[in-house]
Amino acid sequence: MQCEDPQTGLRALIAVHSTKLGPSLGGCRRWSYDDVADAITDVLRLSKAMSYKHAIAGTGRGGGKAVILGDSSSDKTPALMKCFGQFVDSLGGRYITAEDVGMSVKDMLFVSETTQHVSGLPIEHGGSGDPSTMTAFGVYCGILAALAWNQGLGKNDSCNRSVVKNRVIAVQGLGHVGMDLCRQLHESGAKLIVTDIDPNRVAQACDQFNATANSPHEILAVPADVFAPCALGCVLTSVSIPQLQAPIVAGAANNQLGADEDGALLHRRNVLYAPDFVINAGGIINIANEQPTYDVDKAKAQTRKISETLWQIFDSSKKLDRPTSAVANELARHRLERNRP
Ligand code: NAI
């Protein structure tokens, strides 16, 4: 759906990929795209990934996503957010929106003035708050699982905090998710190498978590135990993968693979890839636990299971000699076809 409103300057797209398992739920991204074609490609890919993410996480929701074209720092106004809410409302609940890159809980409050089909509102407003903390927790659990699996440990160690102690984790992107992931890793004794296009965020991570700064252009090539992409998508391509030094890729960013073949390239190079829509599901699991009354412990327990799911995917990938991305795609498609989570 194309959403245009000259009065507020809103230019947005809403994509509903699937409502087979329930109403589609996915965040709204605010980004300055080069052109509309880029935004269309992004919203379509993101909404498909949301369908797969919900199917694997078993939330009983479908896949949808929205993008607002523009620069989040300069031209996001309450009127624009409310207008976006009206477009969401016109879909009658087929799409439920939430935060994504460039959006905040405050923005969702404005959206909630014009539609009830919005989640991720503050807890005091009946919501579950910013989903990023749970997303970061899920990614943290996924990193533990990947490290344990690569070390040949047993499944019981898939949530063992000690596996990350003294391990080097290269984190790309220090926004809502990346920064909180750094906190959790630092508290477990990991060594951090970080980068962001915003130097203030890099300084903050160095200061608070004793991280070492790196440049956005070199982070993929730093020697590390894990590369954690937590910025934008398409970071893993036929050009970037050969530069990768880490034997594990496990991070929050959506659509990390430039193309499906890049999952196969990672597999051939013996890089253990935690499929993005599996490892970054903590946020939607959190939101799916909003009704009837938000229960953070339940959401956390469900998010912790990301480790188990990844373990199964790693196991199947090894047994079948197939890329983890292909195994995860197949699992998601199978659940969608069965028409139940
Ligand atoms: P955010 O907007 O808070 O943070 C993104 C960060 O990446 C910013 O600090 C930005 O300056 C930085 N960045 C952008 N381009 C960069 C580059 N080339 N190199 C280094 N840093 C760069 O976004 P958030 O919420 O932290 O999300 C991060 C990623 O995780 C996104 O791909 C998002 O779609 C995905 N994700 C987020 C969820 C959430 O709960 N917030 C849930 C699931 C996925």
- Cα-only R_g, the chain: 19
Model pLDDT, residue 156: 81
The Cα angle at residue 310 between residues 245 and 292, in degrees rounded to 5: 130
Q: Give the active site residue among 65, 76, 191, 300.
A: 65
Does ligand 1 come within 6 angstroms of the Cβ of 132? yes
65 is catalytic: yes
CA of 196 to the centre of ligand 1 (A): 10
User: How far away, in angstroms, is 181 Cα from ligand 1 center?
Assistant: 12
- pLDDT at residue 74 greater than cutoff 60: no
pLDDT band for position 72 (cuts 50, 70, 90): low
| pLDDT tens per residue across span 10-61 | 999 999 999 999 999 999 999 999 899 999 999 999 999 999 999 999 999 9
pLDDT, residue 42, reads: 93
- 340: which 2 tokens? 């139940």
176 CA to centre of ligand 1 in angstroms:
7
What lies within 8 Å, CB to CB, of 3 at 6+ separation is: 10, 11, 12, 13, 14, 83, 84, 87
**Average pLDDT estimate for 218-222:** 95
Question: Which protein residue has the closest C-alpha to ligand 1 atom 8?
Answer: 175
Report the pLDDT value the prediction gives residue 73, as an integer from 0 to 100: 60
136-171 residue pLDDT tens: 999 999 999 999 999 999 888 778 899 999 999 999
| Residues forming beta bridges with residue 192, ordered by sequence position | 169
Question: What superfamily would CATH give domain 2-53+60-125?
Answer: Leucine Dehydrogenase, chain A, domain 1 (3.40.50.10860)
CA of 331 to the centre of ligand 1 (A): 26
Is it the case that residue 340 has pLDDT exceeding 80?
A: no
DSSP bridge partners of 5: 10
Nearest to 287 by CA among 102, 41, 73, 22: 22
**Superfamily of chain region 132-337:** NAD(P)-binding Rossmann-like Domain (3.40.50.720)
pTM: 0.93
Residue of minimum CA distance from atom 9 in ligand 1: 175
Domain range summary for the chain, segments of one domain joined by +:
2-53+60-125, 132-337
Residue whose CA is at the smallest distance from ligand 1 atom 30: 253
| Tens-digit pLDDT profile for residues 228-262 | 999 988 899 999 999 999 999 999 999 999 999 99
How much is the pLDDT for 137? 98
